[in-house]
């Protein structure tokens, strides 16, 4: 086995304050002072996550443990991540899934995700696709449901859904180096993968009121479709230039734009000047560079994947700017600047 998935590990009592399956007579040590489960509930789950983490460290000391837990307490992020638990199947559950991941990230737990498709019911093909698309841009991405709620594999919903799911999976795979970079940065800095739009401008009231889109790191803005029947949606953009990654059309923020959102994809925008590590066609690391606006600079951080283990990978820092109508990308070094260490692919018009 590769890790631990802790479920029902509060442990579940199916009644407020215990009794149905967890008698109130069940006592906890609580560091020697004693107490009942009303106080120990979430701390119990935290200790279970710690036990799983430390057990894997002892069993396979050369590998990084993988643990995610339905419950926990402050400090859970030291041992693993979490997920939504039994999120209701429906459009409100889809919207709540994004709120959960954003909120946990702000509370110091960067690794989380929902049950794609919802836990307790049968999603429509449209709802399943939209949930799958959202999940493909979140840290923890997996389908899951109760035994009586039906299957959640993409092929269970027909060929059209399968095709749309395949597109989302391919893009997730392409962005894997970016997710690896965000994981290392979350560990070093505490900044979550998934961030609210106001992350870089908390004073902007319009961004603070926006709850239907998010930043994935510093470079991407994802605007999932959270309502049925929508093939277009309004997207609130922070300050600066943003490129629609599907059309490469440039938009200027701050402001709101109306863009196409067909069932085949959700709108995703790249920040002008961004350097995003992606998986190239040959499987190697490439740098996807979005042209900076004239007179502006950009850049990005890259943490190459060193594989499993405890080796501390280095951070590559890149800057971008326009020179004579061409995009110039430079690697920051202690002794100056150098050439990029990976192949480049420039996107977005380099003018204007």
| Residues involved in catalysis | 7, 10, 86
Are 112 and 100 in contact by the 8 Å Cβ rule? The answer is yes
Burial letters for 231-241: b for 16+ Cβ neighbours within 10 Å, e otherwise?
Answer: eebebbbbebb
| Secondary structure (3-state) at 173 | helix
Among 348, 161, 346, which residue's Cα sits nearest to residue 263? 161
- Radius of gyration over every alpha carbon of the chain, rounded to an integer in angstroms: 22
177 phi/psi in degrees, rounded to 5? -60, -30
Within 10 angstroms of residue 115's Cβ, the number of other Cβ atoms is 25
Cis? peptide before 254, omega within 30° of 0 = yes
* Run of H or E including 239: strand 232-244
Tell me how long the chain is. Answer: 352
Are 318 and 331 in contact by the 8 Å Cβ rule? The answer is yes
Q: Is 215 left (phi over 0), alpha (psi -120 to 50) or beta?
A: beta
Residue 279, class by beta-carbon neighbours within 10 Å (0-12 exposed, 13-18 middle, 19+ buried)?
A: middle
Q: Give dist(CA 228, CA 209) in Å, integer.
A: 22
Are 132 and 116 in contact by the 8 Å Cβ rule? The answer is yes
């Amino acid at each position: 086995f590769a890790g631990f998935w802790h479920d029902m590990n509060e442990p579940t009592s199916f009644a407020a304050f215990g009794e149905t399956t967890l008698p109130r007579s069940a006592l906890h040590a609580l560091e020697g002072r004693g107490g009942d489960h009303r106080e120990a509930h979430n701390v119990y789950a935290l200790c279970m996550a710690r036990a799983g983490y430390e057990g894997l460290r002892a069993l396979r000391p050369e590998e990084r443990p993988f643990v995610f837990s339905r419950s926990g307490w402050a400090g859970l992020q030291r041992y693993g991540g979490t997920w939504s638990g039994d999120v209701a199947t429906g459009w409100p559950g889809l919207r709540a899934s994004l709120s959960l991941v954003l909120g946990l990230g702000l509370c110091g737990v960067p690794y989380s995700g929902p049950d794609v498709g919802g836990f307790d019911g049968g999603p429509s093909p449209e709802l399943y696709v939209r949930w799958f698309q959202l999940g493909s841009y979140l840290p923890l991405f997996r389908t899951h449901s109760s035994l009586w709620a039906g299957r959640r594999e993409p092929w269970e919903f027909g060929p059209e859904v399968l095709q749309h799911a395949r597109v989302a999976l391919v893009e997730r795979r392409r962005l894997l180096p970016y997710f690896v970079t965000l994981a290392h940065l979350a560990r070093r800095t505490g900044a979550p993968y998934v961030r609210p739009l106001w992350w870089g401008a908390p004073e902007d009231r319009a961004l603070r009121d926006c709850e239907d889109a998010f930043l994935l790191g510093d470079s991407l803005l994802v605007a999932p479709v959270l309502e049925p029947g929508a093939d277009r949606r309004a997207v609130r953009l922070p300050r600066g230039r943003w490129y629609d990654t599907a059309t490469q059309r440039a938009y200027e923020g701050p402001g709101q734009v109306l863009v196409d959102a067909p069932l085949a994809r959700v709108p995703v925008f790249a920040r002008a000047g961004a350097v995003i590590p992606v998986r190239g066609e040959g499987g190697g690391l490439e740098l996807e560079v979005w042209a900076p606006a004239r007179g502006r600079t950009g850049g990005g951080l890259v943490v190459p994947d060193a594989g499993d283990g405890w080796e501390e990978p280095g951070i590559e820092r890149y800057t971008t700017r326009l020179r004579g109508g061409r995009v110039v990308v430079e690697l920051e070094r202690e002794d100056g600047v150098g050439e990029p260490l990976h192949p480049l692919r420039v996107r977005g018009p380099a003018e204007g």
